[in-house]
Structures are given as structure tokens and as C-alpha cells.
Structure 1
């Protein structure tokens, strides 16, 4: 078991705002999300990525190109192998977030862009094995407090992203904050009426 203390092993921006539907579509594919996750650990070649995900090299090369064209991946170094220059790809940022300015031709996000759906699918076996750690809470708070709270969550997300990679198990970490339009609320207390 090796420990990589510099996560990842190349320079990258802290955050990048995704502002186009094409960028959001690029990260909404499960294989591309997996590739991005692997590159949190270190830069890798298409060959290394294809071995890791057990998919044909041509398939992985296609997905790497989509991510690179969207500005989400970048070539971080190269090396000469025989007569060919091998490229090592890395993330352009530790974290990507969908910005408010995202507008495509139709102005809509892809229908499959839902991290909770991905997390639910990934977590089934952990749930069945009794290894699932999760919770859900609800709070009626003003929008400003929700924004402040999300800043705190963002710090935890960054801390998780920067953990040294080691061990034999990969853990998923999913968070979300969303308005619920039809959640019941209590009427004002008797003394507030």
C-alpha cells in the first residue's frame, strides 16, 4: 500500500466554474466522472486509465478528448516512449462547479445531471453490506443562511478532495442542499399569533 501525499502529483487550479451546457454534459457521464476521480490521485495516460476502468483504449481516448475539449482535463506532462510522445492527463481543477451563468442553446442542464442518482447507484452494495453512512436533515432557514451553510460544506468537500490517496477502498462522498417546495411547516406558535 503506497501513500501519495501530494494529491494530485501536478499543478492545477483550485476551482473552475462550468458555464456551458457542453461542460456540464462532459462531466455528467459516469465513465468521465470515474476518469476525473482517478485523476484526483495522479496524472495518467490513456493506457493507464483504460486499464483502471477496464474499457478499450479507444473508448477511454474518446472520453478524455471530450473532457479535454471542454477544458476539464489538460496535458500536464509528456514523455517519449519509443517513437511516440505519451501524454499524461490531469484535471484542470480540484473542483468543478456548475455556475449560474450556464446557458446553452436551450438553457437547460442535461437530464442526467444528478449526483444523488449516481451516489444512490454507487452506494447500493455498501447499503446491502451494512457499510452505508448517510443522513438526511431538513431545516426551514432563510436563503442567506443556506448560502452560508454551503460555504462550510464547501470547505469539507475541499478537505476530502485533498486527502492523501492510500488504502484499498475508494469511498464516495455526496452532499447536497436543495429547496423542498412541498415540505410541511408548522403554523406559527400560539404566542406568535
Structure 2
């Protein structure tokens, strides 16, 4: 039977990521994977290590970096067999990177690639370039964000699906350069 214990929800719905310390914390694919794993409920170092198939010491180190950057917190502590078990949680359900930095974006895509490699289900990855007016781009961006925000969550024992949405304006080619 699945764990029916109510878990604390992240204190924020959306957290804007923008400090250099936060970008540095996001610049490692394992930290990205830890944030993915903490997206629905708190977890212990042991639980995360087993889920992500990495060592507990490695998980502990990267959680410390994420905690110091204000991206995760200790949601619950319990005494177990003479020790203290800590359950970590993301500080927000969604993290908005207002001005994506190169290192954080590279790490996010690295973590995304690792998740794709581990997925047993068929995946969908599409890259398409569209010519849009500023108004069309605004409407499309708002529609994509709304689709993800309004997606209904299934039951706790349903499979977790990752959704990565990115929309950007391509840099214009330099005069005389390739199109």
C-alpha cells in the first residue's frame, strides 16, 4: 500500500532563481536530478540515493549545496535507530529561471538527457523554429506555460513524467553570415 502520510507542500508555488549562488547550484546535472526527484514529495538522502542510483555521500554533498542556495530545505526530521533522518523538499513547486545562464542551462539539459536515457517509456522531443510576430510569440509562450501549469496531477502511485518547455528567440545572423 502506498504511503498515505500527508507530506508538507513546498512553501511557494513559484520561486524565481536569479542569484549567482543559485546558478552555481544549478550548474551540476545531479543537482538538477535531485530537484526533479524532490518535485512531488520530500525524500531522505538514502531514498534519493537509491532512486537516482548514486552514493549517499554524493547526494548529501549536493543537497547541502542546494540547501545553501535556498533551493531545498529540511521539511521534516525524525528520530530513527539513534539517529536523525531528514526529509528534504524543494522550496517551490516550480522554479522560474528569469534570465537563464549558460552553465545552468547546460546542466539542466544534461540532467534532462540523463532522465531520457533512463526512461522506459517512449519519449517526445521536438525542436522546431517558427517565424512569429511578437504578438504570436507572446501568445504561444503564455499558452505553453498555461498547458504545463494546468496539467492535472494523477494519483501518487502513477508514473512521474518530466516536461521541459523552452521558447526563445533565435539570435539573428550577422550580416553576410549563414541563415
Pair 1:47–1:131, CA change in 2 (3 A): closer
Structure 1 residue 110 displacement after superposition: 4.2
Distance 1:24 1:46 in 2: 22
Which residue in 2 is equivalent to 1:98? 97
- Alignment: residue pair count: 170
Gaps of at least 5 residues in structure 2 are: 174-179
Instruction: Report runs of 4+ in structure 1 exceeding 6 Å deviation.
Output: none
Query: Which of 67-76 and 42-51 deviates more?
Result: 42-51
Contact 1:94 1:161 in 2 (8 A): no
Distance 2:37 2:150 in 1: 17
Which residue in 1 is equivalent to 2:177? none
Counterparts of residues 1-193 of structure 1 (less than 5 Å): 2=2, 9-12=7-10, 13-100=12-99, 109-111=101-103, 113-114=105-106, 115-116=108-109, 118-120=111-113, 122-123=115-116, 131-160=122-151, 162-167=153-158, 170-182=160-172
Distance 1:142 1:113 in 2: 26
Structure 1 residue 17 displacement after superposition: 0.4
Query: Which of 26-35 and 67-76 deviates more?
Result: 26-35
The one of the two structures with greater contact order (alpha-carbon pairs below 8 A, sep at least 6) is: 1
Aligned CA-pair RMSD: 3.1
Query: Which of 174-183 and 110-119 deviates more?
Result: 110-119
Gaps of at least 5 residues in structure 1 are: 103-108, 184-193
Distance 1:41 1:99 in 2: 22
Contact 1:25 1:113 in 2 (8 A): no
SS at match of 2:89: strand
Contact 2:39 2:90 in 1 (8 A): yes
Contact 2:23 2:104 in 1 (8 A): no
TM-score under structure 2 length normalisation:
0.76
Query: Which of 141-150 and 49-58 deviates more?
Result: 141-150
Deviation string 1:149-188 (CA, Å, 9 cap, x unpaired) is 2222122223458444434x553322211212358xxxxx
Pair 1:55–1:2, CA change in 2 (3 A): same
Which residue in 1 is equivalent to 2:176? none
SS at match of 1:113: helix
SS at match of 1:52: helix
Distance 2:146 2:3 in 1: 23
